[in-house]
A = this chain, B = another copy of it.
Amino acid sequence: MHKQLKVAIIGVGVVGSSVANILERNKDIITARTGVEIVVKKGVVKDLSKKRNVNIALTDNVDEVLYDNEIDVIVELMGGIDQAYKIAQIALSQSKAFVTANKAMLAYHRYELEQIAKTPIGFEASVCGGIPIIKALKDGLSANHIEAIYGILNGTSNYILSKMTKEGWSFQQSLESAQNLGYAEANPSLDINGKDAAHKLLILASLAYGIDSRPEEILVEGITDIAIEDMEFAKEFGYVIKLLGIAKKINNSIELRIHPTMIAQDRLIAKVDDVMNAISVMGDCVGESVYYGAGAGGDATASSVISDLIEIARGKSSQMLGFKTSQSFGLIPQEQIISRYYIRILADDKPGVLEKIAAILSHNEISISTFLQKPNNQNLNQNPKQNLNNQGGSAKILLATHTTTEYAIQNALKALESLEVVRAKPVIIRIEA
């Protein structure tokens, strides 16, 4: 007879069912690897009448598990912020270990939970489902000062950008394909606006740098404005566009940002396509290491949830409490972030336009490294004679800048947008070497 670790799962949806089923299916190795039998005593669901493919007792009363002294670990897989946070607080106050995949809740309440926790908190599944990046940062890279993290943290966005790059599909086509394949929700906004990635980046930045910020405090831009010509520009200059979460230590302060990024096409994370996730970590001893895998999916996420349960079962969880590392760094204010920028401007195709644009950039002390102008194909008439003239037509101006500040670029963008000859808000993509 093995010792038992008794678990309750709150939220028995896709991931919750996988956790219950894998604990049963892989019981042999899990018990052998821990010396402890991990048993799901009960699952908590909203709707008991819904048919579920699990072999565990169910209840719709969360208090039944939160106040059950037999239960050692609460696994929270219900999602949402406020209710999940309350449950976490109760679980920890009841001296239960707490395991969660809830990135949104942790993005807001991780330090509050840390303060009250006397039992382990496991959150491997909260960042990039199947990639053991939390344990890599806590254990594998524990000798290193972390210099930077570059993460493809959202599979839906990566799928869309991959299809735009490789197949030449439009944003809309790519999004619809993602939805058809079940990679994107009917309402995909959290995925494509960068917020989901921001939640994950904040968790990683807590571990690496002790950053105590909330999603609203960091630079977050999504991929909805990216167009095919941006892909073409990137390709021409040796880049690939990825939605990256970036954390970088600069003079003992930290830059945190999520945005579409042009990265050199020969970097390994530039080659991570479709719905997969990957995180590149730069350590002062180890150099670059990259962790790649499934970012979502029931079984992949359950694999990480169970790895936390195994760590708890092994009694190795003394270090699982902390989000803060040894050092707490400050955040670099957004306007001081330094980068190179790609800018796409849709403007009237007439004399003097370029001069006005150049004047604005120069006024903001932004210097141009690369410049491309072409007639806006979408407005082109089928008759080539008329096109030569392009009377009243528009032009796309694509350019890349040398290094400048976010402050300068945002001022320049405002000025550009207010030019009468500029027809739409310019689109920027930051460039990482």
Q: Is A289 an interface residue (CB 8 A)?
A: yes
Inter-subunit contact A143/B303 (CB<8 Å): yes
Q: Which residue of B lies closest to A297 (CB)?
A: B287
Shortest C-beta distance, A258 to chain B (Å), equals 22
Q: Is A389 an interface residue (CB 8 A)?
A: no
| A22-B285, A299-B286, A316-B319 as given contacts; A132 in contact with B143, CB under 8 Å | no
Query: Which residues, 268 to 296 on A, are CB-close (under 8 Å) to B?
Result: 268, 271-272, 278, 283-294
Q: Is A376 an interface residue (CB 8 A)?
A: no
| A293-B289, A303-B286 as given contacts; A30 in contact with B142, CB under 8 Å | yes
Inter-subunit contact B293/A29 (CB<8 Å): no
Interfacial chain B residues near A139, Cβ < 8 Å: 132, 135, 139, 307, 310-311
Q: Is A20 an interface residue (CB 8 A)?
A: no
Q: Is A33 an interface residue (CB 8 A)?
A: yes
Option from B268, B283, B311 in Cβ contact (under 8 Å) with A272? B268
Q: Is A145 an interface residue (CB 8 A)?
A: yes
Shortest C-beta distance, A126 to chain B (Å), equals 14
Bound complex: CA A18 to CA B288 (Å): 17
Inter-subunit contact A290/B293 (CB<8 Å): yes
Interface of A toward B, CB cutoff 8 Å? 18, 22, 26, 28-34, 124, 130-132, 135-136, 139-145, 268, 271-272, 278, 283-294, 297, 299-300, 302-304, 306-307, 310-311, 314-316, 318-319, 325-327
